[in-house]
Amino acid sequence: MISEQRLKFWLDNDLNVLFSGRHGVGKSTIIKQVMDGEGLNWKYFSAATMDPWVDFIGIPREKNDGDTSYLELIRPRGFASDEVEALVIDEFNRSHKKVRNAVMELIQFKSINGHRFENLRVVWAVVNPARDRDFKYDVQPLDPAQRDRFQVHVEIPYRVNREYFAEKFGAESAAAAVEWWDALPEKTKYQVSPRRLDYALELYQRGGSLRDALPRQANPRSLLDRIDIGSVEVRLKSLYQEASDDEIKAFFEVENQYRSAIEYVVEDREYLERFLPFLPEEKLVTLLVENSKVRRQAIAVEEEYEHVAFVIDDVMAAGACHPAIQVEIWERQNAKELDEKCLYRDDEVALIDIDKGWVMADDEFRDGPWKKPVWKFLETMANRNNSSTRDRRLALQSLIEECPRPAQLSDDELTTCLAVVNTFMTRSIPKTVHRFSQRCDLAGFVNALLIDAVDRDSLNMAELVRNDFDKGFGFHHGLVGLCTVSEEARR
């Protein structure tokens, strides 16, 4: 919006100004405020209803001076006493051609028909655009000569004047209303001009309903929510600086607060870093699918916040997003993992941690304590819920920590253990297991099962395990791609 300093400068330097802008943006209000603020003796005209004779030149009447009769012009009071310092002509391009021609002389010479107004300093005019891609105004284009008489041309943007609304309705209500209007779709903003928003807030202050002033497409209820909770920007700033994790989580669990705030969170990097881990998981799923900024931040914090990792895995496993987005997530995860662990060796990725983990896991597996009777345990495992990534990870963790070692398993029990792993792996993408905190133990667990199975004459390994070990464990398709088998198991 135009600064008060610029407006005063134009007045102080006696500059004629042409204000142009769409309806309802406060053009006339801005001018009236500065005129009154400067204490000028000024007159306002609505050009659409003006008559150049009645309003400027005067009405002729016959005057008799002895033997001579002539016409004398009776001018309006303001012009008769020559006290007017400024003229404001609203809707200038809705006026009659005669009015526009009369104003041309006023603008340039401060006179009409040669009669000069000694105290007239400025003429300011207000117009709607003659050509607009979204609105068709019943106006006449100003010809180049008319436009050229104004030293200053100003375009008023189509947006809400926050200062004006704050002065009229209070800072908090104004901030909430402006945020609501800024978030409206462009086409809806055309239906809700800043002036219409002004009318709506006036009506609401008097106890009326916002729905009586706003179109249904604008969702008046959402404006009411904004007013009730106050400025979202102010609330988010307070949450960012002062709130605990639990307070942040509680804020976003309230639906209308989430709806009001999420756009600001997504667009602000610091807010996104702070608030993303505490967004409702069902909302986070949608954001991951729709917004690249959210995907980037979620991948950055998934190791610190396990539930964020679960959400990412579920989105990937369920195929809930476009393949291009899945590729993006995969690439970001790989790039992040490689950057953090420095796993480059001879220009190839070396999974050093898993290489070492196999040896450690094998030893721990052979010597570890095993508690539960095998069939009771396997029955429990088989009946576990495996619908989510979290459930599958917990099941795998229980399997590698509590299952008896291979030497204690019968052939059926051993193949059942492999089948249980396969069942859960089938429901998971390889990257899910790669981020499994006990993936090294899992690799050692399956390697130990395979090594023991190879030594048993009673088991047909040709049927049990695929031959292409280079792709992974090779037990059915669920184990393929988990990670490379150890050299001992390969043999």
Helix (H, G, I), strand (E, B) or coil at 102: helix
**According to the model, what pLDDT value does residue 474 have?**
36
Q: Where is 183: in which H helix or E strand?
A: none
User: Rounded to whole angstroms, how far apart are CA atoms 389 and 318?
Assistant: 10
Token pair listed for 37: 């603020």
**According to the model, what pLDDT value does residue 137 have?**
85
**According to the model, what pLDDT value does residue 462 have?**
61
- Under 8 Å between Cβ of 252 and 258: yes
User: Rounded to whole angstroms, how far apart are CA atoms 147 and 428?
Assistant: 70
Which residues on adjacent β-strands are paired with residue 127? 20
Q: What domains, with CATH codes, occur in the chain?
A: 4-156 (3.40.50.300), 162-229 (no CATH), 351-490 (no CATH)
Q: Where is 374: in which H helix or E strand?
A: helix 374-382
The 10 Å CB-count burial string (b at 16+, else e) for 239-265 is bbeebeeeebeebbeeeebebbbbebb
Q: pLDDT by residue for the chain (491 residues), tens digit each?
A: 688 899 999 999 999 999 999 888 888 888 998 999 899 999 898 888 887 777 777 777 888 877 788 887 777 776 777 788 999 999 999 888 888 888 888 888 888 777 788 889 999 999 998 887 777 888 888 889 989 999 999 999 999 988 889 889 888 888 889 988 998 999 899 899 999 999 999 998 888 999 999 999 999 988 888 787 777 778 888 899 988 999 999 999 988 788 878 888 998 989 999 999 999 988 998 898 888 888 888 888 887 888 888 888 777 776 656 666 666 666 565 555 544 443 333 333 333 333 333 333 334 433 333 334 455 556 666 566 656 666 767 777 777 777 767 777 788 777 777 777 766 666 665 556 556 666 666 767 777 777 777 778 777 666 665 433 333 333 433 343 344 344 444 44
**According to the model, what pLDDT value does residue 374 have?**
53
Token pair listed for 123: 């003429």
- Under 8 Å between Cβ of 195 and 41: no
In sequence order, which residues have a C-beta less than 8 Å from that of residue 380 and are 6 or more positions away? none
Place of tokens 């809700």: 192
User: Rounded to whole angstroms, how far apart are CA atoms 211 and 227?
Assistant: 14
Q: Where is 415: in which H helix or E strand?
A: helix 411-426
Could you give the count of Cα atoms lying within 13 Å of 470 in the half-sphere of its Cβ?
0
End-to-end CA distance of the chain: 77
**According to the model, what pLDDT value does residue 288 have?**
84
Please state, as a whole number, how many other Cβ atoms lie within 10 Å of the Cβ of residue 138. Answer: 8
Token pair listed for 270: 């610091």
181-187 long-range CB contacts below 8 Å, 24 or more apart?
183/263, 184/218
